Structure 1
């Protein structure tokens, strides 16, 4: 049974993994045997994350590129494939958040959210999937959100971008499954991270969250690792186009 979830001899690229959830996912995949390639927009961020994993005995490499810039993405993927090896699994984790009321939301902020959260997934997936198709195998995991299907005040552009990630996941599945490529998504609920720290510090919001969520608590980012390992491993070979919610039951509760 353990072989179903083993990532030995698998090479995984995780975008936006210099810190936060991306770094934890990289560490969790490495613990399952994967050779991981961490990414940040700056060389320093990528190098520090890779070094932290290497110090723990994991196989890790650093590659800096901006997911919104096609020339950087294409050059980075080519470099990885030539110098490190074929990418077996891609985790599209890079994402940003901006909070403003819809009627006051600046166009520039909208463009930035869409560029990172939506266009970045498209660009990196396309560059990596072209090589996966040639090899006849691969897995792509897109990090969505509970807001892929639910709306909330002040984050309409974020929800729109994550809704688009859901449909990118399904569309890529339809086109790539015939090439033995599985494309799935993980939709986290409310987790305590740097991005949500302000909400976690808000006692009224936390009280509402605990009442609204059947599990009655915030999620621990460590609890996303199992979903990532499952979707990256042989255990999910016939799972495709699926959005796996990790939300303590919030989405299904009235």
Structure 2
């Protein structure tokens, strides 16, 4: 079977809600056992039960990606539970939407410490075991904001642009050790972070007009891409950013006027 993750162990950061749960669910459906993480692991109990109902082994660990000691402890606990980590999905992230002139020093640090520094040090901690075993799949979750500028998303876009570059550097660092590193970059998806924007119908229509496929992303649009990057079928793919964005990153502008009724 292609895209079969049976026997693999995946750690997904930020699985208390949102896309992190969709990534974990997709990997479990493909056969992987799961390590779920959150700053408060008690919040993971319902999702843990859901993963077990799929027939997968799972364990939850506490992880704060902004804390070095927490990262080291979580990875050690995960490896003790399963003996290995084959797949890492670096999903934990956050955003603060503000005009650039309103961004504070603390806003910048919170976003970059979580999204960029956290992703690097989680990857570093997990990669040590992967390198020893000569096998690993690291998937950094990026964003279409890594390749396009959006007002109000300066620090967030900077963090995701950093993820894209970091992916290329780590791929070059660890490729010789059997570890691939890729970036999965969603476009405009409705999540807990941005759901208020999707309540504005005028904005949704404006957004869809800019997307060649004429709709925002659905979480299940990411199932195939994340499983592919986690699987043996992606063995010769590394250092790449896979944009799953309905084509909006192409930057196309309607070149013809709308037809008259």
Same fold (TM over 0.5): yes
CA contact under 8 A between 1:113 and 1:161: conserved in structure 2? yes
Which structure has the larger Rg? Answer: 2
1:76-155 correspondence runs (5 A): 76-155=74-153
Give unpaired runs (5+ residues) of structure 1.
none
CA contact (8 A) 2:59 2:81 kept: no
What TM-score do the two structures reach when normalised by structure 1? 0.96
- Separation in structure 2 between the aligned mates of residue 102 and residue 49 of structure 1, nearest angstrom: 37
Match of 1:252 in 2: 250
Deviations 1:46-85 (A, max 9, x none): 3332123224433221111101111111111111112222
Counterparts in 2 of 1:16-95, with a 5 A limit? 16-95=14-93
Q: Corresponding residue for 1:212? A: 210
The separation in 2 between residues aligned to 1:205 and 1:170, in whole angstroms, is 34
Q: Distance in 2 between matches of 1:123 and 1:48?
A: 28
Aligned to 2:10: 12
Moved over 6 A (4+): none
Q: Distance in 2 between matches of 1:47 and 1:86?
A: 22
After superposition, the C-alpha distances for 1:213-247 in whole angstroms (9 at most, x for unaligned) are 00001110111111000000001000000100000
CA distance in 1, matches of 2:22, 2:130: 25
SS in 2 for 1:154: coil
Q: 2:168 aligns with which of 167, 170, 191?
A: 170
- The change in CA–CA distance for 1:107 and 1:208 in structure 2 (over 3 A counts) is same
- In structure 2, list runs of 5 or more residues that go unmatched: 253-261
Residues paired across the two proteins, number: 252
> After alignment, is 244-253 or 86-95 more displaced?
244-253
Does structure 1 retain, via aligned residues, the 8 Å contact 2:116–2:160? yes
Q: 2:57 and 2:129 mapped to 1: Cα distance?
A: 22
For residues 191 and 35 of structure 2, what CA distance do their matches in structure 1 show?
A: 22
CA deviation map 1:72-120 (0-9, x unaligned):
1111111111222200000000010100110111111111101110011
Aligned-CA RMSD value: 1.0
Distance in structure 2 (CA, Å) of the matches to 1:69 and 1:117: 12
Q: Is the 8 A contact 2:28 2:54 kept in 1?
A: no
Shift of 1:253: 3.5
